[in-house]
Amino acid sequence: MNSVNMFTMNRDISNKQQSHLGVILVAHEMKGSYRVFVMLNTEPGLDEKVSEQLLKFKEVTEVHFISGIYDLLVVVEASLRGRAIFTTIQEISQLLIQRIRKINGVRDTNTLLPFLSLIKDTGK
C-alpha cells in the first residue's frame, strides 16, 4: 500500500493545523485494499466462539473484544483490485455482513466505513 503525505491527500488541512496535531499524519491511498470496521453484539457467553468463526473469513484481519454496547470490533480488508470503491463496499455489505450475521451467536452488527484513514508515521 502506498503512502502519501496527508497534506497531499487533503489540502483543507493547513501546515499549521498539521503541526498543531503534534504527529506526522500519513494517509493511505485506496489502491489495493480498503478497511471496514464491523461492531458486533453477541449472545452472552458466545463471544469467543463467534470470534473463532470470524477469523476463518479471509477478509477478517483482526477481532477485538471491546467494552461498551458492542462486544466485538472486527477489522475487514476488502480488495479493490481496480474496482470502484462503492462497488466493493456494496459487496461487503451484501455478502460478508450477511455471512457474519449467519454465525451462531451474532445478535446485531454495525458497519463503519471510513472515508479517510490517518496513521501516525513512526518511522519503522
At the topology level, CATH places domain 31-115 in Alpha-Beta Plaits (3.30.70)
Tens-digit pLDDT profile for residues 59-116: 899 999 999 999 999 998 877 666 666 566 667 667 888 999 999 999 999 988 887 7
49 pLDDT higher than 70: yes
Domain map of the chain by residue range?
A: 31-115
Residues 122, 124: Cα–Cα separation, whole Å? 5
Name residue 39's beta-bridge partners.
Answer: 73, 110
Residues 6 or more apart whose CB falls under 8 angstroms from that of 83 comprise none
The mean pLDDT value for 31-41 works out to 82
